Structure 1
Amino acid sequence: ESDTIPPTILNCTSDVILDADPVTGEAVAIWDIPFAVDNNGPVFLISEPPFTSGSISIPSGSNISVEYKFSDLDRNMAVCQFNIIVRNQAGVDTIAPTISHCPSDVILDPNPVTGEAVANWEVPIAEDNNSPTFLISQPPSPGTTFFAGSTTVIEYIFTDSDQNTVSCSFSVIVNDLIALAITCPNDIQQTVDAPENTHAVVTWEDPVVPTGDFHVAGTHVSGTSFPIGITNVSYAVIDSEDNQAGCSFTIEILTFEAIICPNDIQQTVDAPETTHVVVTWEDPVVPDGDFSVSGTHASGTAFPVGITNVSYVVIDSEGNIAGCFFTIEILTFEAPSITCPVDIEVTVSSTEEGADIDWDAPMVTEPGQFLIGSRFPGFFGIGSYNVTYYLYGVTGQLAECSFSVNVIQREPDLVPPGFIGCPVETITASLGPGETSTEVFWTEPTASEHYAQVAVSADFNPGHRFPPGQTTVSYIVRDEFGNTGVCNFLVEVFPFVDTMPPTITNCPDNMTKYVLSGSPDPTVEWNVPSASDDDSDVNFVNATNHPGDTFPRGVTMVTYTYEDQSSNQATCVFTVMVIGK
């Protein structure tokens, strides 16, 4: 017989309220570990907090829920729950939290058929001037069902870390049902008068309805002839506001020789070596009268593994026969199959107290199987743990498997981290015309530390604009143990160098001048050439001749010289030829 009584929890503590240490701002919580007993067998701890009594320091202002859950072999659950509250000692706060969105009373009409109503409201919010707030009451949740004619006070009570409390309350009021109801007769069972009859006339009192403006309708009327078997009869009443109520009952017409066997029976052998099981059942139901009943097997018979048909026959005094049968199935003892995850090993840094570990629980492959674990995914402190799962089969067979969880803390590392790809040669760039700085790019080095890196920093990043000259770029990496590694390299920017001479425009072409014999030397005129430069101003240096000068007979070479700010020179050269006639 199934056990429906949950385990009894002993030694479940109340809330643990602590004052934080004024220096560290923390407190260590210690409590008695609860345990449970059951009236019908062993008890299993199926969930517990991720930390143990006295194992951790809890910061000021914390409110941590602690829960232990127990189960017996019949899956009846019992829970021990309490809170650990650490109060702030930096200064006593006497100001209570403030609540926003406190709902007004919720007034509802019930469903006319079910007499229920679902209430919804906006959950109030509490805020405090000095610490987190905590809900310490356990009000119903929005979406809860309430019954007609009920008034339920909903109260939200909040507290802060210094136990200042504030509350918000309102009522959920469900109006009474509209006076609309209908009461049907009880179920009716009747037997036909003779074997050859297939129908029977059945009468009943009309359903009871309230007085007033109502309309009543039914699927059948009293005095109807009903066939052998079960027929459902329904009535509905509707008022002027279209509110409805209904009821129903069954009419079962039995043949005079009817016999009803038990339902099919399934049972499992107690141990693998057992081949037979004794099975008992209630005798078949037969009508009153002069009947003879016989069966192929009697209750209390030992049945072999497999399926056996059991038949019963009833014979009346007229020789009419009716029969029924059911099956008895004996299942072999077969423990369920269970496969655990592989062993888990996690390494954490020297500053971490543990790690959050997750895994997939073993599969439950058959309906009715029940899985219990000694621990569940969550936070595991430094150390080794054995996790065991128990799988109970449909008929109580047990299979189990285990795996280990090992959380290892790394030893401090004194070797500093390094860099991969730190430039070994100076990175160079040149300014363009008119520039005072230029962007310089490089491939950033990567840290080579195999442990976790706390930070990698650089005083300059690729694309930074550098002025002329040399600049040292530094990358620094720091690992979790405080060791640092450095990558230094040079960026050198050269100033702009102009090597292009000026450009001369309007340089005159070679000129020829004719004069008569015995005449004086002529003067010659031309347009003075000009010069320009893309990068700087241009200066006139000198000219061998000038417009209006007197030239002797023969060929004279004229030269103009110009120079830019980088001492690049350009010349304009042409000839003046004087010919006598």
Structure 2
Amino acid sequence: PAPFTVLSGVGTSQLVEIRATDEAGNAWVCQFTLVLQDTISPIPNSATLPDVLEECNATLLIPSANDNCDGLITATTTDPINYSAQGSYVVTWNYTDSEGNSTSQTQNIIIDDTTAPDISACSPDTSFTVDIDSCEKLMAGIDIGTPSVTDNCALDTVFNDLSATLPLGSHVITWTAIDEAGNSSICTQSIEIVDQEAPSLTCPNDTLVIIAPPSTSEFINIPLPLVSDNCSLDSYSNDFTGIEDASAIYNIGTTVVTWMAIDDSGNSSSCSMSVTLLDNVPPEITCPPNVDVDATADSCEAYVVVDLPTASDSDGIASITNDYNGTSDASGIYPVGETTLTWTATDNSGNTSQCQSLVSVNDVSPPTIVDCPSDVEVYLNSGECNIDSSDVTIASPLVSETCGVDTMYNDAPASFVVGSTTITWTVLDDSGNSSICQFNVSVIDTIVPVIIDCPNDTTSYVGLGECDLDSSLVGLVQPIIDDPCGDIMISNDAPELFPVGSTTVQWTISDGSGNSSICLQEINVLDTIPPTLIDCSSDAEVYLDEGDCTISLADITLEEPLIESDCEVLSISSDAPSVFSPGTTIVLWTIEDASGNSTTCAQNVNVIDTIAPAILECPEDSLVIVSESDCFTSTLVLEQPVATDPCSSLLITNDAPAEFWVGFTEVLWTISDTLGNESYCTQIVQVIDDTPPVIVECASDTVIYSGEGQCDIILNLNPPSVTDGCGVDTIYHNGPAA
């Protein structure tokens, strides 16, 4: 290369040639290959990597270096880049460029946790009661709470110095939290062990002493109660003597002695015993006189004032009661009848005496009939003119009688005839008082007359020119009937004239009670004469619109046939399709009268298609270049036109020759549908001969001499020898004419 040519790209090689030439033209040449190599190692961007000091964990940032060829180099290492265990580590970083030149650096990593755990909240102070029958608390399984502890790195353990058993009193518990680096923190918690168990206190048994009159008191020896405490007892006493010993003089009757025991923690227990002094002589009692009163009007009870009995006892009367209301006063409301009162007098020693008195209440009010039975309607059964009383439901009256009903009865007859019968109820109470009420039983005849045989349905026919029949000609006959309880009347709703069709005649049979029965007879008047066809519809021709292959029935006007009928024409219809296709369709007309008689005739509907196929695209003109020595082509394949017709398939033809000669040829395309409609388009085929004529031999060079005195000469040059596969058109030269 030229001097000062710059080579770029590591590994690029260049062949260098040195040539020496002397003045005589002698030359000496030597060659060598120059190869560009990179031997410079990357230079770290930081001369010294900083030490990484963390307490819990560290993730190293990857350093980089700059290379003279590769630019920025990212360091690599085989050492971990994430550290979480306490300790010191050295990481070796390597920077290597694409040519293998490398530089390395080391970096120190120190993971040293010096932060103690944070006990932000010690377990709250708390208290516990001593165990039952004990003066200390067994702490095994007792939840005293847990401090809230956090650590910047990882917590190792949290523990306390709680003893297995705590005695009564206050205790300070120390909690210690240690992290995995050995740093620790403490907090304290107070626990109070309290005694809430009351002393155990068992009273002496109740004491019962019988004393003889006239004594009313006596000294009684009372045993001491049984007292103990789980911790330490403070004192105990009773409320009768105020000291531990309850022995003393007690009066006749019952004295309740209550004991109270208190321990050093202020817990207390109590129990009670009774000391009873009794005599054994019953009191004396005298009953009040018997009482006799009438009950309150319209009531089965009365308020009775009863005098009090009298009683006496040397020990005193504790109570006087009766067994009616359980009090000392027996006055109150008493029911009709006799009530025996038993009086009981009790003295202060519990001795009792009894006597009896009588309270009589008399009922003088008759029963109250609150609601007499409603009037009853009963209906005769078929074939009967009266009804047995056992077949009539006679309800009992609703009676209000607080003192009790003795009996109720009525005067209903053994059988009921058609019409209304009055029934009287009589009510007697237990005291012989009576009341009456009345209601009516109505027997109703609702049995309709029985139609044994309704007239049979009949069928009659109208004659020619008739559309109805007189009622005397259709066979009306009365039904056969039966009714046991009264006269009957027979009628019908037959018209005077029966039209063609079915007419329902209703026969009505009524008895003397207004009951009626009906039956129906069908009178059928038939018309069997069909309508007369005067003229069937004319044949129709319709033409399709462009783009349509069918025509809707709605777009065609079809004339109805002309008919004549004696009675009503029900319908004129045809089987014409909703859509007509090209060609002839036979439409059948049906004329039907109201009796179903019908006449038919046929009509031709001819749908004509005069729309030629649509040419969407004619083939483009074709250009063909024949090969050398050819003047025509017979292998040209022409593309067909694109055409459409909605009604039929298409036939596509053309008048193309078998061979296309050099020049222009017009091809006529013809598109025909199945109905003979045609469309046309033309295509130009141009055949080109681009092979030049061959000059087989050019005319020889010629020397022509002019005649004496001439300075020019008319040229008569021999033409060259020329051939061409498609014929030579003309040969000319560019020489002068003379």
After TM superposition, the score normalised by the length of structure 1 is 0.27
After TM superposition, the score normalised by the length of structure 2 is 0.22
Could you say which structure has the larger radius of gyration? 2
